[in-house]
Amino acid sequence: MRKQNELRINRRIRVKEVFVIAGDGTKLGVMPTEEALKRAMEEGLDLVEVNPMSRPPVCKLMDYGKYKYDQKKKAALAKKNQKIIEVKEVKLRPKTDDHDFDFKMEHIRRFIGEGNKAKVTIMFRGREITHPEIGKAVLDRVIDSLKDVAMMELYPRMEGRNMFMVLAPAKAGHKPMQSVPLSAMAGSLSSPSPHAPSPAQVAAAAAAAAATAAAAAAPPALGPDGLPLPAAPVVPGAPVAAAPAAAPAAPMAPRPAFGGSRPSFQGGRPQQGRVSGARPGGPHKGP
């Protein structure tokens, strides 16, 4: 089975005629495929289809084994000479002291000197995220320390609880790096979001929420059959009708004083209750 991008040679060429090119580059013109194969065998070469898309296909007389060896050698040489650029990350804290800062700046200089890129990350912990200007000051120190060997590839930005930027090796004639204001940083806490709602949208949403809350708190209206009527849809911005006032509760009957009597209902008939301290059979008599 022929592999992808593999050239057809000799008997694998199934067309009736081909355009033949000699091994030295001379164009022999169009000839039948059998005649081209016969000529290749006489010269001890292979008939290789180099351009199958043309009509007729273009074939060349060559040593196919040597051709494949040369192609493999060229691919290995190209892979050996290619430069792979890596991104080295250096992490700092808002409270990084001067000695650690200088030590990591030397690392970044070595990374950039080797042709790699450097990602400088400021990590915030706890309530440090409420003071991003401190981390921004650390990045400004990095920019000031490396402006002679590096250039800004990705400007400082916030991503979650981290602030980072990417530096690349400086090119000839590049402009020195400059600090970026905190308010202009992408993802900054102080920069307005492009998806933030406008004040009018916020006010409309608050009015709709108030209308929904008022409608939920009002008692349901009852129809003639005693069932609650369906609630009307709430339109944002429409005036909210005041809820009907509740009827005053009926006054409660005064409770009798302690020791008096109150009617009790036993057996369906009102009966006079007993006085506190009296026995059911009559007044209490002493021993």
In this prediction, residues 203-218 reach a mean pLDDT of: 76
The confidence band for 104, taking pLDDT boundaries of 50, 70 and 90, is very high
Q: Which domains does the chain have, with CATH numbers?
A: 10-79 (3.10.20.80), 87-184 (3.30.110.10)
Residue 171 · residue 199 · CB < 8 Å: no
Position 249 pLDDT exceeds 70? no
Between CA 249 and CA 125 the distance in angstroms is 59
Work out the mean pLDDT of the chain and round it to a whole number: 77
| 151 and 168 Cβ atoms separated by less than 8 Å | yes
Mean pLDDT over 142-161 rounds to: 89
Q: Which of 25-34, 129-138, 188-197, 232-241 has the lowest mean pLDDT?
A: 188-197
Q: What is the pTM of this model?
A: 0.43
pLDDT over 60 (residue 31): yes
Taking the CA atoms of 194, 196, 198 and 201 in sequence, report the sign of the dihedral they define: positive
Q: Find all residues with CB under 8 Å of 53, minimum gap 6, and list them.
A: none
Q: Residue 213: what pLDDT?
A: 75
Question: Coil, strand, or helix at residue 45?
Answer: coil
Q: Distance (Å, rounded) from C-alpha 190 to C-alpha 188?
A: 5
Residue 237: pLDDT above 60?
no
Reported as a single tens digit per residue, the pLDDT across 179-201 is 777 766 665 544 444 444 566 66
